[in-house]
C-alpha cells in the first residue's frame, strides 16, 4: 500500500502522472489530505474511478483519540492516539500567549534509555511515518478547534533516530498548500545524536534545535543518558558549535533539574563554561516525577539559575503546564500499552 499521507504535493502529482491522470490532481489530493480527510470518497472533486483506485492502492487512516485530558488550570490538552497498528503515541496542545503549540511524538517508544524518562521504559517499538507525525498536528487542531501556529518535536521518541521521516514531516507541515507552519515556529529536541545533528545542519533549516544536555560533565551525563557513553559532552558541544556555524541558529540547551544529581554550584559553573564556547541559552526544566525512577525534582533551581545568569548566560525556567493532568510524556502510552497486554 502506498503511504500517500507521507507524500508531498510534487510526489503525489508525479504519482498521478504515472497513473495517467493530469498532474493537478496531485494538488487536489494533497489539500484534502492536509485537511485531515480520511476517506478518499470524500474527495468530491476527484472522478469516481480515481477515488476507487486510490482506495485500493493507498493507505489512508487517521489516528483515533483514545484519551483526552484537559487541564482546568491552563487549558493544556493531552491526547493519546491509537495508530493503525494499535500502537499508541501522545501529543500535547499547549496554549501560549504567542500561539497554540502542539508537542508531537516521533517514535512509538524510544531506545535512548535516559534514566529519568518514561518514554524509553519499554524500548522503541517502531518509527512513526511522516504522515503519522502530521496527523498529530492535524487532528489536534481539528479536535480542539484551535489554530495551531507552532510545533515542537519533543514528545515520545528521538527525532534524530528517525531523521528521514522527520525531514519529510517538516516539509509537509511547512508546505504553503498545507498548514504552512514556518520553520521558525518549529522546534526539534534531541538527546544529542552527533551524526544526526551534523546531518540536520546540512539542510540549514531555520527551526530551533533543542539539545537535552541535563549535565555538563561526563560522569553525571553518562549516568543519566546512555547516549553520552559513546560521544561525551565535549564531542556533543563541538557538534552543537558546527550546527550553529552551519545554520546561524542558537541552540536551546534543555536541563531538567534533578535533586542532588545535576544541580550543584560546580555543575552550574561547568555548564556556564560550555555555553561560553557554543552560542545558546539554557532552559531549566522542573523534573517530572516518573514512578519507576528514583530521581526527585531539585530545590535549587533559583540558585542555579542565578549563578548562571551572574556568569552572563541567558536562562529561562520552563513553566509547568497541565500539572493537574499528570502524566509527563510517555506515561499515558505506557499505561495504555500495558493495560492491553
Ligand atoms: N528524545 C528527544 C525528545 C523527547 S524528550 C530528547 O531527548 O530531547 C523531550 C524532553 O523532555 C527532553 O529534554 C527530555 O530530556 C525531557 N524529559 C524526559 N523525561 C523528563 C522528566 N521526567 N522530567 C523532565 N523532563 C524530562
77-98 pLDDT, tens per residue? 999 999 999 999 999 999 988 8
* pLDDT of res. 28: 98
Q: Are 201 and 243 in contact (CB under 8 A)?
A: yes
Residue 319, pLDDT > 70, answer yes
Tens digits of residue pLDDT in 189-228: 999 999 999 999 999 999 999 999 999 999 999 999 999 9
Pocket lining: 311 vs ligand 1, CB cutoff 6 Å: no
- Output the nine-digit C-alpha cell for 13: 502529482
Residue 246, pLDDT > 70, answer yes
- Residue whose CA is closest, atom 3 of ligand 1? 154
Mean pLDDT taken over the chain: 94
Separation CA 332–CA 157 (nearest Å): 14
Taking the CA of residue 210 as reference, the ligand 1 atom at the shortest distance is: 8
Taking the centre of ligand 1 as the mean of its atom positions, its distance from the CA of residue 198, in whole angstroms, is 21
Q: Are 87 and 125 in contact (CB under 8 A)?
A: yes
* pLDDT of res. 329: 62
Taking the CA of residue 293 as reference, the ligand 1 atom at the shortest distance is: 22
Summarize the confidence of residues 108-132 as an average pLDDT: 95
Summarize the confidence of residues 6-31 as an average pLDDT: 97
Tens digits of residue pLDDT in 170-191: 999 999 999 999 999 999 999 9
Backbone angles phi, psi at 86, to 5 degrees: 95, -15
* pLDDT of res. 341: 42
* pLDDT of res. 324: 75
- Residue whose CA is closest, atom 9 of ligand 1? 154
Catalytic residue among 21, 90, 158, 254: 90
Residue whose cell numbers read 516521533 = 106
**pTM, rounded to two decimals:** 0.95
* pLDDT of res. 338: 66
Summarize the confidence of residues 39-60 as an average pLDDT: 97
Site to substitute for ligand 1 among 220, 254, 258, 290, most atoms within 8 A of C-beta: 254
Residue 102, pLDDT > 80, answer yes
* pLDDT of res. 253: 98
Q: What pLDDT band is residue 327 in, cutting at 50, 70 and 90? A: very low
Separation CA 299–CA 258 (nearest Å): 8
* pLDDT of res. 326: 60
Summarize the confidence of residues 22-27 as an average pLDDT: 97
Amino acid at each position: 500500500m502506498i503511504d500517500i499521507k507521507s507524500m508531498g504535493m510534487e510526489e503525489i502529482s508525479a504519482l498521478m502522472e504515472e497513473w495517467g491522470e493530469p498532474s493537478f490532481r496531485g494538488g487536489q489530493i494533497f489539500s484534502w489530505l492536509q485537511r485531515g480527510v480520511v476517506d478518499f470518497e470524500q474527495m468530491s472533486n476527484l472522478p469516481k474511478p480515481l477515488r476507487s483506485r486510490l482506495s485500493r492502492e493507498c493507505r489512508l487512516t487517521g489516528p483515533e483519540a483514545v484519551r483526552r485530558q484537559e487541564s482546568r488550570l491552563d487549558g493544556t490538552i493531552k491526547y493519546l492516539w491509537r495508530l493503525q497498528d494499535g500502537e499508541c503515541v501522545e501529543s500535547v496542545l499547549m496554549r501560549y500567549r504567542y500561539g497554540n503549540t502542539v508537542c508531537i511524538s516521533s517514535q512509538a517508544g524510544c531506545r535512548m534509555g535516559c534514566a529519568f524518562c518514561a518514554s524509553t521504559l519499554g524500548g522503541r517499538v517502531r518509527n512513526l511515518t511522516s504522515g503519522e507525525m502530521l496527523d498529530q498536528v492535524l487532528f489536534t487542531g481539528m479536535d480542539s478547534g484551535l489554530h495551531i501556529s507552532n510545533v515542537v518535536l519533543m514528545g515520545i521518541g528521538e527525532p534524530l533516530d528517525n531523521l528521514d521521516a522527520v525531514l519529510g514531516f517538516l516539509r509537509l507541515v511547512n508546505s504553503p498548500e498545507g498548514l504552512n507552519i514556518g520553520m521558525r515556529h518549529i522546534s526539534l529536541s534531541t538527546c544529542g545524536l552527533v551524526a544526526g545533528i551534523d546531518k540536520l545542519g546540512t539542510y540549514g533549516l531555520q527551526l530551533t534545535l533543542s539539545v537535552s544536555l541535563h549535565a555538563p560533565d561526563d560522569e553525571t551525563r553518562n549516568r543519566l543518558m546512555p547516549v553520552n557513553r559513546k560521544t561525551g559532552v565535549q564531542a556533543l558541544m563541538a557538534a552543537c558549535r558546527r550546527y550553529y556555524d552551519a545554520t546561524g541558529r542558537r541552540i536551546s540547551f534543555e536541563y531538567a533539574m534533578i535533586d542532588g544529581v545535576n544541580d550543584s554550584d560546580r555543575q552550574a559553573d561547568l555548564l556556564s563554561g560550555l555555553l561560553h564556547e557554543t552560542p545558546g541559552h539554557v532552559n531549566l526544566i522542573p523534573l517530572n516525577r516518573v514512578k519507576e525512577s528514583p530521581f526527585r525534582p531539585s530545590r535549587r533551581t533559583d540558585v542555579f539559575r542565578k549563578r548562571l545568569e551572574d556568569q552572563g548566560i541567558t536562562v529561562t525556567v520552563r513553566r509547568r503546564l497541565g500539572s493537574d493532568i499528570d502524566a509527563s510524556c510517555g506515561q499515558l502510552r505506557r499505561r495504555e500499552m500495558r493495560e492491553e497486554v
